[in-house]
């Protein structure tokens, strides 16, 4: 953090993702725990951003296929996302526990996939 940044709020959440393409029997054996640290940061200019930091822990090598950003070498370690009404709701849904998010995710797709889609969409909004 530089001198021109002020942290307004920090939230940490951990989510366990399972490979959506595994067979039902194998599904819970391989996982990715994703830790998200979300800091609301205000800059000297007055603009507020979300500083999203990501860490991953895997059950085993197969668990890497459960990462919500996909199975690749260049996984994001975080993003800066400008705070506005749309990203405020998006970030709150990203940080929300799966059980609570189910109330807002519809029901056609699994809640894990909904959170995965939110994470991938937010990654496109980096500033």
DSSP 71: S
Tens-place pLDDT, residues 28-53:
788 999 999 999 999 999 999 999 99
> Is residue 22 predicted with pLDDT exceeding 80?
no
| Contact criterion met (CB below 8 Å) for 83 and 48 | yes
Domain extents in the chain: 5-123
Hey, what long-range contacts does 25-29 have (CB within 8 A, 24 or more apart)? 29/59, 29/62
User: In this predicted structure, what is the pLDDT of residue 29?
Assistant: 85
Which distant-in-sequence residues (6+ apart) come within 8 Å of 110 by Cβ? Answer: 20
Q: Most confidently modeled of 21-25, 29-33, 52-56, 110-114?
A: 52-56
- Residue 19, pLDDT above cutoff 90: no
pLDDT of residue 50: 97
Residue 24 has pLDDT above 80, yes or no: no
Is the backbone of residue 47 left (phi > 0), alpha (psi -120 to 50) or beta?
beta
Indicate yes or no: pTM above 0.75.
yes
User: What are the residues facing 78 on neighbouring strands?
Assistant: 53
Q: Is the pLDDT of residue 8 over 60?
A: yes
Q: Is 3 exposed, middle or buried (0-12, 13-18, 19+ CB in 10 A)?
A: exposed
Please say if the pLDDT value at position 23 is more than 90: no
Average confidence score pLDDT of the chain: 89
Asked if the model's pLDDT at residue 81 lies above 70, the reply is yes
């Amino acid at each position: 953090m530089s001198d021109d940044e002020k942290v307004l709020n920090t939230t940490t959440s951990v989510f366990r993702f399972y490979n959506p393409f595994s067979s039902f029997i194998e599904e819970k054996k391989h996982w990715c725990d994703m830790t998200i640290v979300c800091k609301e940061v205000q800059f000297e200019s007055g603009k507020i951003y979300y500083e999203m930091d990501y860490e991953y822990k895997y059950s085993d090598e197969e668990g890497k296929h459960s990462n919500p950003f996909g199975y690749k070498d260049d996984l994001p370690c975080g993003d800066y996302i400008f705070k506005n009404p749309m990203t405020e709701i998006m970030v709150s849904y990203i940080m929300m526990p799966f059980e609570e998010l189910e109330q807002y995710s519809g029901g056609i797709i699994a809640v894990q996939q909904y959170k995965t889609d939110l994470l991938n969409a937010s990654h496109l909004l980096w500033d």
